[in-house]
Amino acid sequence: MTASIGFVGGGRITRVFLEGWRRHGGLPPGIVVSDPDAAVVQRLAAAFPGVTVVRDDNARAARQDLVFIAVHPPAMKAALAPLAGQLQRRAVVVSLAPKFTFATLRDLLGGHDRLARVIPNAPSIVGAGFNPTAFGPGLDAEGRDAVATLLAPLGAAPEVPESQLEAYAVIAAMGPTYLWFQLDLLAALGREFGLAADAAAQCVAAMTVGSARALAESGLTPAEVMDLIPVRPMAEEEATLVAAYRARLTAVHAKIRPA
């Protein structure tokens, strides 16, 4: 299925997807992006000259074969309601937001049920994303294949139950924000301690990937993995950090779960 693509919303995740596709070998043809912000439209048009970027014309984006809804949950109802009469009968609508279930999306779209939901992940910009995907009951194999084909260049896109998407939003979609500032600090400290900038960046990247793999693949318990290194300079702060993670992320998960 060669599909034209529409994005309702031209913010961060739209840019991540476009850049991820471009880096993988080129943007798919026939992309239309709509956003109400003139500055966003201008930036996208300059960054992606092969993409049609329009200001505040969601109907045009919605008339494509595969339509990504790339707006934040508070803006979903206002963005979706006017699209009901614009969608093609065979269009696949892909929501990139948590909280809005297939049932809610179908109601807001006037009964349109060719739906998928994806929890997008920013590392998709370099093809290293983790984008859990759920397919609505009204979406056939052709539609599912179209979504999977577009997600493949961006990284992993495991099919998961819809009920788990909000958990993935907290752990995968928001997860990089819990780590990036720490990894940037480690690279900065490496430079201060005498490493060249590229060596510090390579060291931090390799250490991060290796640490995750050791925890997931070694066959050891988490406690055994953590005991592999005798010196833990941050040990006294670990309890405080764990408590902060639990409090903050539990609250976020409660907030984004469907009502």
Q: Where are the domains of the chain?
A: 5-164, 175-256
In the predicted structure, residue 1 carries a pLDDT above the cut 80: no
Instruction: Report the percentage of the chain scoring pLDDT > 70.
Output: 99
b/e 69-96 (16+ beta carbons within 10 angstroms → b): bbbeeeebeebbeebeebbeeebbbbbb
Q: Return the exposure string of 234-243: e unless at least 16 CB atoms fall within 10 Å of the residue's CB, then b.
A: eeeeeeeeee
* CATH T-level topology, domain 175-256: ProC C-terminal domain-like fold (1.10.3730)
Out of 76-85, 130-139, 181-190, which region has the weakest mean confidence (pLDDT)?
76-85
Are β-strands 115-118 and 133-135 bridged in parallel, bridged antiparallel, or unpaired?
antiparallel
Global confidence as pTM: 0.94
Is the pLDDT at 2 greater than 90? The verdict is: no
183 in Cβ contact with 208 (< 8 Å):
yes
Structure confidence at residue 25 (pLDDT) = 87
Percent of the chain with pLDDT over 90: 95
Q: Residue 26 — very low, low, confident or very high, per pLDDT cuts 50/70/90?
A: confident
Does the fold of domain 175-256 match that of domain 5-164?
Answer: no
In the CATH hierarchy, which fold is given to the domain comprising 5-164? Rossmann fold (3.40.50)
Kindly state the tokens that stand for 33: 């992006």
Q: What is the pLDDT of residues 98-135, one digit of tens each?
A: 999 999 999 999 999 999 999 999 999 999 999 999 99
